[in-house]
Structure 1
């Protein structure tokens, strides 16, 4: 437990500054869900790094800024509980026996089964697969035309995840329907977050059918779906794995675990889409990125990861997209005992939150925080390293995201292929985000005009 968070029978500290203006029963739910990041930004600008407000059935303690992020994300299971928040949201979507539906030691073991597919050698093997999937997707496009950026990023990222995390035959078989099925799971997740325990609403019924379809497809295809050069399928590897006290996975649990991998990769779509929107809203960066690619890719397609690692300017653009539109905009935990965080009393039962969406726009951390400025990550400036936990778009502390390297590689590949292949322009540079969503992607239609470039 971090030294700045104390868990005592009666912790000292100041009262949390309370936000006024809530309504009976629902508190601040209307402005919060209408514009959660804007709501938190306004709240913290008035009350400082800590503020409390009310949502239906819950008091919220929100913390903002690098120092507060470090404390909140460093709290352990004796201080806060993530399970009570995420288990009701995730288990109906991916199935029982995985993620937060199992004891902590089993969940840690299950997470470890994904790690071999996220190591550097595995990512290197994924590189030609990622390039091939983007090239195949754009191959039917004519010399010029339009496409919807959000749909394209959803389609491409889903196909990449299916091929790289499950297997090539699963990717080929489900490629066309997979994006829509994952979207139904995302919609249900958001509805459960807003409304609490699952109600009998159409979005949940559609999600149940999507889960059944995906689980059935994994069980039918994945057992014999060997990646090129592998001795056995990833599904077969899961069935052979030995966990705590000799624990093993049956076919249903292995399928649910693979489905959780697919769902966990869904934020790649929003991150890739916002990267593209921001680049096309600031076209002065396109020549810079193309020049960098000409220097990095002496051979194309790349045979190793080295050229991607040389794309530093594109990497800075990805970081800026993460800052302005983080894949996850809120990181909640439930206080299981009375706490003192950064000198503030947080009673047991409060929802304790760190907000990437608000923290990333603090003017005392990021100069001109509303501006798209990839130069802020250059050596000598490096605003994201001025303080630990300044940039938390992929979480951090005790429970960081397992797959940021996979996501960044996929997005670098997607935009490397698109920028090499096309001249691109937003039909309407005014792009808003979808707030009634888990990942806050750009609002559709998000139309891009393209014209093929001569290679």
Structure 2
């Protein structure tokens, strides 16, 4: 039996250390017991109490998900400070994540860090009723009739860009497509005025905005640091530039075939008394649109090329398809010709499956909900949890995709159609209520670029096939040199 009077003889700091150790041991023990008992709550993956969750996130999201999935399966919770992050990995458990409305699963709370970049009064700075109307404006700007007008601009920008290449040379695809995507965006999104007169200025300002989106910005978006000061200055200058362009178009009654014009012509139906968008809202939505697509499209363009170059059969099939399309439709890269390119589309989709730019998608649970994993076990996710799913991890689950680490575009061809075996198996463009509205825009943009390249160049890798750069906010390939040679006769 312990004589408690002996404790009075111990130094006070030692008593604190001992008490803390006992408390942590008790918490850890209770956590282990809780995970082993029958329960509807997700198992907790933490390790050391209070700091274990932080340490697991610090090790990187892919390692965290791999370790958690190996230990607990498709559903588990990681406590981080005062928040609980619950992971739903794979199509069997992510249905509610994608299908629930904003009253049940909300984007606003987890993406509010974008407000200093996008601006006040748009997207994540408004309630879901206003956001729903603004998303309709995005959808209107990206409907099929508008896309048909954008395709010639995609093609022209690509042709002009690659015309500056020599007969042979070396490039880094990540840099190449980052430059080209901002050029296509400047014409189809920001407008003729920007592309013709002030592209360099606007591109520099968007670069400062981009550099103001740091990992620390997710937690402290208003932290007084140089990157945020530059972000705020750039945001103010962009607002001034676009206000002048908008006013000039209104004064001259000019109508252009770009997304800026679509936003100028948009008016609310159910909120704000049916008024038109003001200049600040238009600027914010332009910025949000560019941020939603610039990195994802440039990264997917790079991976599409890298995977096709590595896989000679995939490259040969894409080349043969170009010849067939030219024979059938002529040399013009129209929207109909691009839509015919199923092989190129599958190569792109498989690249996006293997290398999605967005590692995690997040929602805030506004109400509890139940999920059932592939083994038939049901869990109830509590209200208040931050819920995460991961294209990068889910796309490589062997019970969803056969040989998931292999590049195999034929997995999308009937009768295999592995992406359709269960809803939300392929989530490269998200899915459900908040699926990427710009997916068709991105597909046509990337097909346009790669059609120009396939018809005019041959490629080979100089460096080994690159790894993913998980240090970036949006994950692309690490630097990789590619050698190009211009074809003597274009396809």
TM-score norm. by structure 1 comes to 0.89
Alignment of 1:329 onto 2:332: no
Displacement of 1:187: 4.2
Once the two structures are overlaid, the 10-residue window that deviates more, 309-318 or 190-199, is 190-199
Structure-2 change in CA distance of 1:237 and 1:353 (3 Å): closer
Once the two structures are overlaid, the 10-residue window that deviates more, 382-391 or 173-182, is 173-182
CA RMSD of aligned residues (A): 2.5
> 1-side partners of 2:129 and 2:320: how far apart?
48
Task: Pick 1 or 2: higher relative contact order, CA cutoff 8 A, min separation 6.
Answer: 1
Alignment of 1:434 onto 2:464: no
Aligned 8 A contact 1:433 1:440 in 2? yes
Alignment match, 2:319: 290
What's the secondary structure of 2:86's corresponding residue?
strand
Displacement of 1:301: 4.5
> 2-side partners of 1:71 and 1:261: how far apart?
26
What's the secondary structure of 2:356's corresponding residue?
coil
Alignment match, 1:7: none
> Match for 1:49 among 70, 74, 77?
74
> 2-side partners of 1:453 and 1:30: how far apart?
52
Alignment of 1:78 onto 2:113: no
Alignment match, 2:17: none
Alignment match, 2:158: 134
Deviations 1:59-86 (Å, cap 9, x if unpaired)? 1110111121212212223323221111
> 1-side partners of 2:265 and 2:126: how far apart?
19
Aligned 8 A contact 2:246 2:264 in 1? no
Displacement of 1:224: 4.3
Aligned 8 A contact 1:334 1:349 in 2? yes
> Match for 1:161 among 153, 168, 185?
185
> 2-side partners of 1:230 and 1:315: how far apart?
36
Alignment match, 1:249: 277
What's the secondary structure of 1:389's corresponding residue?
coil
Alignment match, 2:43: 17
Aligned 8 A contact 2:140 2:262 in 1? no
| Bigger proportion of residues as helix | 2
> 1-side partners of 2:71 and 2:130: how far apart?
43
Displacement of 1:238: 3.5
What's the secondary structure of 2:463's corresponding residue?
coil
Alignment of 1:452 onto 2:486: yes
Alignment match, 1:259: 287
What's the secondary structure of 1:113's corresponding residue?
helix
Alignment of 1:122 onto 2:151: no
Once the two structures are overlaid, the 10-residue window that deviates more, 44-53 or 212-221, is 212-221
Displacement of 1:324: 0.9
Q: Structure 1: 5+ residue runs without aligned partners?
A: 1-11
Q: Structure 2: 5+ residue runs without aligned partners?
A: 1-37, 373-377
Alignment of 1:308 onto 2:341: no
Aligned residues: 439
Structure-2 change in CA distance of 1:406 and 1:438 (3 Å): same
Structure-2 change in CA distance of 1:431 and 1:100 (3 Å): same
Structure-2 change in CA distance of 1:225 and 1:138 (3 Å): farther
Once the two structures are overlaid, the 10-residue window that deviates more, 179-188 or 286-295, is 179-188
TM-score norm. by structure 2 comes to 0.83
Aligned 8 A contact 1:143 1:452 in 2? yes
> 1-side partners of 2:469 and 2:230: how far apart?
20
Alignment of 1:268 onto 2:293: no
What's the secondary structure of 2:131's corresponding residue?
helix
Displacement of 1:269: 1.4
Structure-2 change in CA distance of 1:284 and 1:114 (3 Å): same
Displacement of 1:340: 3.0
Once the two structures are overlaid, the 10-residue window that deviates more, 78-87 or 402-411, is 78-87
